[in-house]
């Protein structure tokens, strides 16, 4: 059981997934909020049942699974419906991530929460002992989005601007990894943080 939980966050294309993979390679359990978001609306889940009850059968595909494209289009056109959807999914996602972390066999666990800042930070996640921010300059995020997602520059800029600012994310941080170079440059930093977190978890 892990009672020491580190929140991992960062802007789009900052390198959060790469950082997560490298912590996992060191034997650390990582609970990913994006994966949890899919699990809490899986076929047969209470979350999917609640969404179907609220939005009607048109949000379900023929196989009974959630029609994500339709629902996304619908809630982004209606702020009240978006808030209603979030009221169903967000508490379930938080509970799922926390449960995975607390059940971890590793000395500490990482909760990978891309929108930690946007979701209310520590006030929404009071069970995080530390927050690690993966930071990258906007021009680096922009270049990575263009090459990774094969999109145009205007869309890349809108995606970056739709999120919290670097300053807002960094204000939450206990620890920062600046990921503006080659991924291999991350390893030494991650190993140092891993040693630090193991020490803190044992001390706690």
What percentage of the chain carries pLDDT values higher than 70? 100
For 28-74, the three-class secondary structure string (H helix, E strand, C coil) is: CEEEEHHHHHHHCCCCCCHHHHHHHHHHCHHHECCCCCECHHHHHHH
Global confidence as pTM: 0.87
What band does 147 get if pLDDT is binned at 50, 70 and 90?
confident
Whether 189 has a pLDDT exceeding 90, the answer reads: yes
Report the alpha-carbon distance of residue 159 to residue 145 in Å, rounded: 9
Largest Cα separation within the chain, whole Å, is 52
pLDDT at 96: 96
What band does 204 get if pLDDT is binned at 50, 70 and 90?
low
Report the alpha-carbon distance of residue 5 to residue 133 in Å, rounded: 14
Give mean pLDDT, residues 74-94: 90
DSSP-assigned letters across all residues of 121-186: GGGT-TT-SEEEEEE--HHHHHHHHHHHH---HHHHHHHHHTSPPHHHHHHH-SEEEE--S-GGGH
Give mean pLDDT, residues 134-161: 83
pLDDT at 158: 84
Backbone angles phi, psi at 63, to 5 degrees: -85, 5
Report the alpha-carbon distance of residue 125 to residue 94 in Å, rounded: 8
pLDDT at 164: 85
Query: Among 43-47, 52-56, 155-159, 199-203, whose mean pLDDT is lowest?
Result: 155-159
What percentage of the chain carries pLDDT values higher than 90? 66
Q: For residue 12, give the nearest of 174, 124, 163 by alpha carbon.
A: 163
More confident residue, 153 or 8: 8
Report the alpha-carbon distance of residue 188 to residue 130 in Å, rounded: 19
pLDDT at 99: 97
Q: What is the pLDDT of residues 99-122, one digit of tens each?
A: 999 999 999 999 999 989 988 999
CA distances from 50 to 67, 68, 71, 88, 186 (A): 14, 15, 14, 7, 42
More confident residue, 73 or 94: 94
Count of beta carbons in the 10 Å neighbourhood of residue 178: 16
What band does 183 get if pLDDT is binned at 50, 70 and 90?
confident
Give mean pLDDT, residues 150-168: 84
Structural contact between residues 183 and 25, judged by C-beta atoms closer than 8 angstroms: no
Give mean pLDDT, residues 33-60: 94
CA distances from 95 to 15, 20, 33 (A): 25, 20, 10
Strand order in the sheet with 5-10: 29-32, 109-112, 5-10, 130-135, 175-178
């Amino acid at each position: 059981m892990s009672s020491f939980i580190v929140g991992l966050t960062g802007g789009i294309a900052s390198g959060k997934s790469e950082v997560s993979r490298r912590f996992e390679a060191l034997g650390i359990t990582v609970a990913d909020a994006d994966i949890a978001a899919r699990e809490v609306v899986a076929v047969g889940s209470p979350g999917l049942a609640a969404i179907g009850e609220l939005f009607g059968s048109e949000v379900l595909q023929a196989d009974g699974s959630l029609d994500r494209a339709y629902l996304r289009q619908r809630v982004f056109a209606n702020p009240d419906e978006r808030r209603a959807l979030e009221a169903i999914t967000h508490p379930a996602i938080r509970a799922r991530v926390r449960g995975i972390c607390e059940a971890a066999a590793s000395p500490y666990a990482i909760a990978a929460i891309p929108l930690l800042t946007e979701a209310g930070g520590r006030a929404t996640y009071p069970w995080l002992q530390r927050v690690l921010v993966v930071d990258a300059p906007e021009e680096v995020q922009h270049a990575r989005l263009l090459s990774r997602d094969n999109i145009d520059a205007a869309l890349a800029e809108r995606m970056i601007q739709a999120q919290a600012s670097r300053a807002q994310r960094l204000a939450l941080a206990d620890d920062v990894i600046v990921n503006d170079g080659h991924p291999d440059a991350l390893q030494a930093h991650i190993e140092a943080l891993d040693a630090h977190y193991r020490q803190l978890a044992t001390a706690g």
